[in-house]
Structure 1
Amino acid sequence: MFKKLLISLFCLFVLAVAGSSLWVWQGLQTLEQPVALNEPVLFSVPSGTGYGQVAHKLELEDLTGNSLWLKIHGRLFPEQTRLKAGEYEFTAGMSTLDMISMMVAGATKHWQVQFIEGWTFRDMRRALEASKRLEKVTTAWTDDQIMEAMGAEGDHPEGRFFPDTYLFTSDESDLDLLRRAFERMEDVLASEWEVRAESLPYKSPYEALIMASIVERETGAAHEREEVAGVFVRRLEQGMRLQTDPTVIYGMGENYQGRITRRDLQTRTDYNTYRIDGLPPTPIALPGKEAIHAALNPADGDALYFVARGDGTHKFSRTLQEHQKAVREFQLNRRSDYRSSPAPVTDPDSGGAE
């Protein structure tokens, strides 16, 4: 009788264990099922948040069923409990375990801000201010304060930041992006300076950066950059003024309203290369790597002038007589669809070196 009782109790125990195991297995299986999401969901894991807290938060936000199963999963797989802080984007088709794996990997959500070749530093700051997800640190700072934070106290900010698309996470600020862009420009300029052509009329990499910014603003046609740089380099070597409209526009600042008058060309500013000799004192825009390379590796030739054709490219001339003829052809009798850049820009140039 006693033996039968023991056997019965043992069988009940086995059944209970088997039933519990099945129950746990079925619960854990729910973690592998896709979560019903109609649109992407942002999920934040603050620094210092524990695995159990994340499991509870996932349940509260309907990103898992019972958080008990996540906690059991964590007991069985402790390596899956090492979650990294940050903001994550969960999308349709993902399971709860997919979400956990994403947080273990630290695959946080990235946003982006873009700095465009030819932009000014003021344009950069506007783009940073307009970025909704980016923490704002420098909004009330002056340009001088920003340059001091870059370790370049007293330097002018124009042209010192590399134009590119920068990805950032929710824990980064506008100051972080500025540092990345500043350091990137330092690296690119140094690398290009090392492979520069011989006998260039630049005293420093900074002067090459100034030239690169002018090249960037003068042409949107990639294949012309070296040729445009060649014209300006030959002008410097021969003691001729650069006479380039983008420098005039930059010197006019807010007074520029879309066109340059004869009076504007005659008004002396630090940047009016129709009135000053040599390069302007600072860059006038953000030059890209291609423009920097062109400034340091200008095309050989004998052209000293160029004028916009109206289709985004330029006509290059050796002599003033040839140039004046080109001006009459392309500027005084402009085509109806005239434009100075291959693609629409905010402030189209009107040609240069005239």
Structure 2
Amino acid sequence: MTDTTALADRTDCAPSTAHPIDPEAASTVAGALKALSDPLRLRMLSAIATDSRGESCVCDLADLASVSQPTISHHLKVLKDTGLVDSERRGTWVWYRIAPTRRRAVSALLDTFAPAAIGGAAPDVQPDGALRDLSLDDLDSSVSRLASDLADRHPDLSRDLVTALVRESYTGLARSAKLTRHLIPLTERFAQQRLSDLQRDRSSAAPQVLFVCVQNAGRSQIAAALLNALSGGAVVARSAGSMPSAEVHPNVQRLLADIDGEGTTRDEYPKPLTDDAVRAADVVVTMGCGDVCPIVPGVRYEDWAVGDPAVASPDGLTAIRNDIEAHVRDLLAALNPDNT
């Protein structure tokens, strides 16, 4: 019996509700993926996307590998033909930048798919049964107790508001949780931070900076640690992710330990981006996550193009750390010149 006959004879298969990508779109996407299948070409795209100038000169891209100039030109032409990059000739040299309409796609490729493909990102969230080291009833009861406790500690806020914020914080963290037994203490810390943000008095509080990247597992964590260390507490640095991971990348954890110094206990964890965090910030710095932050009047916005430490070599990781530190020092000088 052929496979086709076997399928035709099945009587227990329900009608499919799938809606696959249409053939024309699939052909377009497949063409783009094929164009990016060359490792050097992918590195070129990454170099262009993370160049702090917002663009890269062909002479910079030629330094990525020991290949001939015609080979470099061929790869750049392929990238341009996909529509992912634009180019502009200025005198002798040609400059390349990510096409404005393709920035989100390139960011998703380099910041989300690439780490996952090499095993550096957190595993996909499993069904409830695979993560259930605490029962759902236990979790719900714990969340209810936590909400009641925090409402008692914040009498100036509506109990309904505190309860809603706690449950929202729990849900946001649960999406990337590895072990549910850690969810309640993490929810408490996250909710406490959010409640502080809601009650922050801009007129008297220290300047607050929010760093945002995709997974809140690399760049934004490094930037927040550096700003906290360099400011000596004069500036408050926080971080969040548009699609937070379950944990900070291992190579970044080692780097953060060096920044914090001996004897310091680090308890940072990836957190989802929230509107209240943005509204509480004086400065919001995005790092490879696109236009994910709500625009709030009175908040200053910056975008830093830096490499992703999750896919970097040891030398690359050092370079990324130094690049972020240079940005942080400039920001610190603008916020608090007497502390630099």
Give the TM-score of the pair, scaled to structure 2. Answer: 0.23
Relative to its length, the structure with more helix (as a share) is: 2
